[in-house]
Amino acid sequence: MKNIVILISGRGSNMQALLEANLPCKIAAVISNRADAQGLEIARMHDIPTAVVAHRDYPDRASFDAALAAAIDRHAPDVIALAGFMRILTDHFVERYRGKLVNIHPSLLPAYPGIDTHERALSDGIKIHGCTVHFVTPTLDHGPIIIQAAVPVMRSDTPQTLSERVLHEEHRIYAQAIRWLCRGQVWLNKEGRVSGNRLEQPGAALIFPGLE
């Protein structure tokens, strides 16, 4: 069975969704860069080993990343899932875990990389928004895409209501992506693209506002 390590910085709802998804892998540890991350308590309640590697304890990004890598490698993970992990990682770190490091991002990438995705989506007036699970590469929020979910944007939406709608889908697609990775049904190929041997299923188009 494959091992997975989850990295968090805060609330940990995506982490919780993974812990409760009955995944075909062993969740070996949850690691946070903040000792006060709420998600750590949730992990402990699920009897998952936790660790804190506090970025504030390190003089620069390279030394923090080295300490983080040491904490990760203790568990020899096959998959490392960033779940609301709010530190930008060095290229060296990202290359070291090529094909193993995945992230969930609250937009339909490549639209809206970075932060405040829901605010930016609302101010642009887009009608369809969503979330993405992707392999992590050195360019922030630009790695090869594994799965995406789209949601409608309502006229009455606030950043809060929109983020809740997107978050609900994040929890579903992240568990699905990790399941494929753990079963070896999806991988990053030598050309740096996503390969997979699962069947593509016909999906319904999301058109919003709907056609007459």
Distance CA 97, CA 102 (A): 10
Of the two residues 104 and 149, which places its CB atom closer to ligand GRF in the complex? 104
Distance CA 80, CA 63 (A): 19
| List 75, 92, 105, 142, catalytic entry | 105
Residues 6+ apart with CB under 8 A from 100: 77, 78, 79, 80
The residue nearest ligand GRF at its CB is: 84
Rounded least distance, CB 104 to ligand GRF, Å? 4
Of the two residues 10 and 77, which places its CB atom closer to ligand GRF in the complex? 10
Of the two residues 90 and 163, which places its CB atom closer to ligand GRF in the complex? 163
Residue ranges binding ligand GRF (CB under 6 A)? 8, 10-14, 83-84, 104-106, 167, 170
Distance CA 81, CA 109 (A): 17
Distance CA 77, CA 81 (A): 10
Active site residue 105: yes
Say what angle helices 159-182 and 117-124 make with each other, to 10 degrees.
120
Rounded least distance, CB 211 to ligand GRF, Å? 30
Rounded least distance, CB 113 to ligand GRF, Å? 11
| Sheet of strand 101-105, all strands in order from the earlier edge strand to the far edge | 50-52, 25-32, 2-8, 79-82, 101-105, 128-135, 145-152
Whole-angstrom CA distances from 168 to 61, 69, 106 are 32, 30, 11
Of the two residues 11 and 120, which places its CB atom closer to ligand GRF in the complex? 11
Rounded least distance, CB 29 to ligand GRF, Å? 16
**Catalytic (active-site) positions:** 105
